Amino acid sequence: MNDISTIRTIGLVGGGVIGAGWAARFALAGYDVRMFDPDPEIGRKVDAVLGNARRAQQRLLGALLPPEGAVHIATSLADAVESADFIQESLPEVEELKQRVLAQIEAAARPGVVIGSSTSGLLPSRLQSGMAHPERFVVGHPFNPVYLLPLVEICGGEATSQATKDLATALYTSCGMQPLQVRVEIDGFIADRLLEALWREALWLVNDGVATTAEIDDAIRYGAGLRWSFMGTFLTYRLAGGEAGMRHFLAQFGPALKLPWTKLVACELTDELTDRVAAQSDEQAAGIGLRAYEQKRDDCLVDVMTALKANDFASGATLKAHAERLAARQAVPETTGEGPLPLLSTHVDAAWIDYNGHMTEWAYLKLFGDTTDALLARIGAGLDYVAAGHSFYTVETHLRHLGQARLGEAVRVTTQILGADAKRLHIFHAMTGADGAVIATAEQMLVHVDAAAERSAAMLPAVAEAVAALAAAHAGLERPAAAGRSVGLPAA
């Protein structure tokens, strides 16, 4: 069996909504893709999905994205899988069809290549039952849109090896996904069993005339759906139990489980109910087309995940970890030798982007502030120094914007000491992009204070010595031409 480092090409069989989503997920993660689907329109359809995915991932990760992999529409199933390093099948949910095609895939694939299935609920033991080497088969069940939603359920059958599950986990993780290994083989796995329960109750509410499709969606998106996006069900209910926690919640609301609040046995999907659901759905859509809704959905998902990334929580933590992995590949080397201090290297975060697609004003100030904090830590005036009652206050800042920083781009900030005395520190920050061009500068005057007395005070000796040493080291540097500039129109 190959390992994650040797995977370069992904073979895809089936190019519907899920298969096309996989093509976009893998290609935008830098993998080459070979896809087979007998649909004569498959090329056009995949291109449309890839266009939406590219737009969404650019908003999510920007310049952190690796070079995009090539997507090739294969002429046959064998053409798609014979040179693939990993294979993902995404056919309709028909067990016999999947079993037959999986046998064809196995016959055409190279020995040891892992074969994943996107099935949303069929048992992997049954799907792998006709394979000669069932140990290399695993379920990798994603969620739509595959190119944005991080969850992928991994479930092995009776013959699936742990190495197969681990390789699938590593590959999906490398694409920015959040693998969930399902510990017990069960119909529908975990997520779809939960979704099915909600779906059955929703159909009953429409069938019985209690609510329309729009009202049901509103009940979710304005209420529990917001909590579900970052806390799920059990953690949400734990909080509902107050200080006493989950045990108190179960004691308080447990009796309601005996009440006839739900109808989890599916209602019959009659022609009348089908017509009613379809008509209400059309009315709810209000004439907005599929691709427009897909883009609105993607934009909302990007914004939610970006907000969660700032909190390092739920899907935001997955996004943050993926961004950090991508950033590490593009790390900007620090300069060596004499010159301004290199104190900060980072990549432009999605939360810092304005409506023009550039880093917004407050984000520049934040990064320059972070650089000042790094300088203070270097001279011995970090958090311990502040806790002891001493600090530096910034009393003046002059920012200049000279270029643009875009999503995901590498930025670097260096600092030069322009002057210092017993109580003051005069510094000049310069922010550069990956090409070395100056994007922005910030000139700052800091005053040392006795925080308890709320007045200026002389630096403590150790800090004063560190400042003096830096000032002496920078004394021979050329003074920035922009230092000391003021804002204003020239006199007429």
263: confidence class by pLDDT, cuts 50, 70, 90:
confident
Q: What is the pLDDT of residues 129-157, one digit of tens each?
A: 999 999 999 999 999 999 999 999 999 99
Residue 83 has pLDDT above 80, yes or no: yes
Q: What is the mean pLDDT of residues 112-124?
A: 97
Mean residue pLDDT of the chain comes to 93
First to last CA, the chain: 76
Residue 335 has pLDDT above 60, yes or no: no
Q: What is the mean pLDDT of residues 24-31?
A: 98
Residue 336 has pLDDT above 70, yes or no: no
pLDDT at 334: 53
pLDDT at 488: 80
Give the CATH superfamily of 334-474.
Answer: Hotdog Thioesterase (3.10.129.10)
Structural domain boundaries in the chain: 4-189, 192-287, 334-474
Q: What is the mean pLDDT of residues 244-266?
A: 86
Report strand pairing: 32-36 vs 9-13.
parallel
74: confidence class by pLDDT, cuts 50, 70, 90:
very high
Give the alpha-carbon dihedral of 468, 469, 472, 476, to 10 degrees: -140
253: confidence class by pLDDT, cuts 50, 70, 90:
confident
Fold classification of 4-189 is Rossmann fold (3.40.50)
Identity (one letter) of the amino acid at 425?
A: L
pLDDT at 492: 65
Residue 42 has pLDDT above 60, yes or no: yes
CATH of 192-287, one of 1.10.1040.10, 3.40.309.10, 1.10.8.60, 1.10.10.350: 1.10.1040.10
Residue 487 has pLDDT above 90, yes or no: no
Q: What is the mean pLDDT of residues 200-226?
A: 95
Q: What is the mean pLDDT of residues 255-275?
A: 88
Tell which phi-psi region holds residue 54, choosing left (phi > 0), alpha (psi between -120 and 50) or beta.
alpha
Q: What is the mean pLDDT of residues 38-59?
A: 95
Give the pTM. 0.83
Residue 167 has pLDDT above 80, yes or no: yes
| CA atoms of 314 and 165, how far apart (whole Å) | 23
pLDDT at 337: 56
Residue 380 has pLDDT above 70, yes or no: yes
Percentage of the chain with pLDDT > 70?
A: 98
Q: What is the mean pLDDT of residues 36-61?
A: 95
Residue 415 has pLDDT above 80, yes or no: yes
Q: What is the mean pLDDT of residues 362-369?
A: 95
Lowest mean pLDDT among 189-193, 244-248, 393-397, 478-482: 244-248
63: confidence class by pLDDT, cuts 50, 70, 90:
confident
Residue 52 has pLDDT above 70, yes or no: yes
Q: What is the mean pLDDT of residues 295-319?
A: 92
Report strand pairing: 424-433 vs 410-420.
antiparallel
